[in-house]
Structure 1
Amino acid sequence: MELRVRSGGRGEPVVLLLHGLGATAEVWDGLLPLLPGAWVAPDLPGHGGSAPLPAYTFAGVAEAVADMVDPAGTVVLGHSFGGVVGLHLAARPGVRAVIGLGIKVAWTPEELARAAALAAREPARFATRDEAVARHLRVSGLDGLVAPDSAAALAGVVERDGMWRPALDPRAFGVGDPQLAALLAAAPVPVVLARGEHDTMVSAEQLRALVPSPVDLPGLGHNAHVEAPAAVAELLLRHRDAAHAPPVR
């Protein structure tokens, strides 16, 4: 399928960067200069400049980006929605480790119902780009974190027939419960789960129920990679030893 993909750097392991729901590859801009080697950052299907899927599941999104895994060695760093997609790639040949940042791991029936209702809506359309950008920033959780005229803001909107709307395909909200426990149990490679200390979407207790040593990033919220790229780069570098080891199969 047609995906917008950014890439750069040299060396192994490659870092595959998977953004969260509603965002685009631009949310990694602050992190990119801090990466030690090659990196690949797609707009996930139905986001930014990437084509939509006929229907959305975490596994389906993972399959759409699976060819970006370098068989010679890849570390996947995924935020929120992208972190779940990364866990679906854990058994892909070449993946050596997965780092999931800010994944919402516990979903109530009411939350799942609200997400399904959002997935059933038509995309919001606006007369001006500024209005569409404002909606994009709210939906992606970037409001107040990036400037409305920044690349991260502008990449998230599109113009169609003289009207503007967020580029996000609303149907992506309908992916359902990520079933984190099952994904972690099936992962054949090291997995790190991390969150910002003030992330209201996932608690430290919820992560500790899934993995023995989750990482809390002090002073940060849900979009820690945007708020403090250096802290997320340090997290990545701290866990690269596992990525240099041969993949576990």
Structure 2
Amino acid sequence: MRPDPTPDRKLRIGRALRLRGRFVHLHSIGEGRPVLLLHGCGSLGEEILGSLPPVEGIRWIAPDRPGYGYTEPIPDAGPRAAADWLADLIDVLGLAPVQVVAHSLAAGQALWLAATHPGKVRAVTLLAPLCRAPRGPVPVLGLLAMPGIGPLLRRRLLPHLMPLPGAQALASLIAPDAPPPLLRDGPLQHLLRDQALAATRAELRSLDTAMQRLPQVGCPVLAVTGGSDRIAPHGALLPWLKAVVPDLDLLEIADSGHDLHRSAPLRVLAAVLSQGEASRPRPPHPARRPEPTEPRAGWQDEDRAQ
């Protein structure tokens, strides 16, 4: 399967590899201690990577998660299966033990990864963690992803409805944070592709059941929350999170919302670096050689270029 780039805006091209026979796209910047960045739903690796500056001694790795961007979907998009996929990616890239930074809906996958593959994870940093599925978006996503009518709605109706109502809805949800450039100016057609919608819908539908079955997490976990977050208000989440994560630290950024890595990047960066330095590393696992990818015109490895 070849990833088809959006016609109206080309996305940043990073590194290509194959995992379990499927195409994976990721960005990697810097050298040193590895930090795996996991974007939220409806986003891309380039978005969360772009919020954090290069840091000496740190290697940022930001994949497009399965179904998003140029990464092919996996059969099961639930947190447990996605955690196994991440564990394989960590092995292939030789990252263990790695610090994982997960935004929003990716929090469930990060916690399952830490709980079921403890030797691969030294610490987890959750940014505005969303560990309970909101009910509203699931039926809408199902309609937009439905064969036949879904593409028609996306191509014919949404372009006329989104500019004003979409911007207002986005601003209302993310407020007081400004919409990230990817969502504000980015390719709507790309973010609403069939596989991205299907991945988001599947993640939301499986989230509650999966998180109720989450084993206890043993590694250090830091939850960074926005005091004005309307998407994942921390008051409803933290009691449950404390029950399954005994070694939980909390940091609230009072004047931020759900996109706190954009609205308060320096404070988020300081928290990530501090937690990574304080966590106790575990013995590394040997890396596997990445499977070769097919040559693709215009594709290049960003590891050295940046």
Shorter-normalised TM-score: what interval?
A: 0.7 to 0.9
Cα distance, 1:118 vs. partner?
A: 2.2
Assess if the C-alpha contact under 8 Å between 1:97 and 1:189 holds in 2.
Answer: yes
| AA matched with 1:84 | G
Q: How far, CA to CA, are the matches of 1:4 and 1:46 in structure 2?
A: 11
What is residue 20 of structure 1 aligned with on the other side?
A: 40
Assess if the C-alpha contact under 8 Å between 2:256 and 2:263 holds in 1.
Answer: yes
Cα distance, 1:23 vs. partner?
A: 0.4
What is residue 6 of structure 2 aligned with on the other side?
A: none
Is 1:98 aligned to 2:124, yes or no? yes
Assess if the C-alpha contact under 8 Å between 2:76 and 2:82 holds in 1.
Answer: no
Cα distance, 1:94 vs. partner?
A: 2.3
What does 1:67-82 align with in structure 2 at a 5 Å threshold? 67-69=88-90, 70-82=94-106
TM-score, normalised with respect to structure 1:
0.77
| AA matched with 2:120 | G
Secondary structure of the 1:76 match is strand
- The structure whose Rg is larger is 2
Assess if the C-alpha contact under 8 Å between 1:197 and 1:219 holds in 2.
Answer: yes
Cα distance, 1:35 vs. partner?
A: 7.0
| Unpaired stretches in structure 1, ≥5 consecutive residues | 159-163
- Cα 1:214–1:22 change in 2 (3 A) is same
Q: Which moved more, 1:112-121 or 1:190-199?
A: 112-121
What is residue 153 of structure 1 aligned with on the other side?
A: 186
| Unpaired stretches in structure 2, ≥5 consecutive residues | 1-21, 243-247, 284-306
Q: Which residue among 64, 75, 88 is the counterpart of 2:85? A: 64
Secondary structure of the 2:54 match is helix
| AA matched with 1:170 | L
| AA matched with 1:215 | L
TM-score, normalised with respect to structure 2:
0.64
What does 1:117-128 align with in structure 2 at a 5 Å threshold? 118-119=141-142, 121-122=144-145, 123-124=150-151, 125-126=154-155
CA RMSD of aligned residues (A): 3.5
Q: Which residue among 110, 127, 138 is the counterpart of 1:115? A: 138
- Cα 1:94–1:148 change in 2 (3 A) is closer
Q: Which residue among 197, 203, 209 is the counterpart of 2:227? A: 197
Q: Which residue among 175, 182, 198 is the counterpart of 1:171? A: 198
Cα distance, 1:115 vs. partner?
A: 1.7
Q: How far, CA to CA, are the matches of 1:53 and 1:139 in structure 2?
A: 28
Is 1:241 aligned to 2:273, yes or no? no
Cα distance, 1:167 vs. partner?
A: 6.7
Q: How many residues align?
A: 235
- Cα 1:86–1:133 change in 2 (3 A) is farther
- Cα 1:213–1:207 change in 2 (3 A) is farther
Assess if the C-alpha contact under 8 Å between 1:116 and 1:174 holds in 2.
Answer: no
Q: Percent identity?
A: 24
Assess if the C-alpha contact under 8 Å between 2:105 and 2:131 holds in 1.
Answer: no
- Cα 1:37–1:71 change in 2 (3 A) is closer
Assess if the C-alpha contact under 8 Å between 1:47 and 1:168 holds in 2.
Answer: yes
Q: How far, CA to CA, are the matches of 1:101 and 1:227 in structure 2?
A: 12
More helix per residue: 2
| AA matched with 2:270 | E
| AA matched with 2:59 | A
| AA matched with 1:83 | A
Cα distance, 1:59 vs. partner?
A: 1.9
Q: How far, CA to CA, are the matches of 1:227 and 1:116 in structure 2?
A: 30
Assess if the C-alpha contact under 8 Å between 1:193 and 1:214 holds in 2.
Answer: yes
- Cα 1:139–1:89 change in 2 (3 A) is farther
Is 1:218 aligned to 2:254, yes or no? yes
Q: How far, CA to CA, are the matches of 1:71 and 1:167 in structure 2?
A: 31
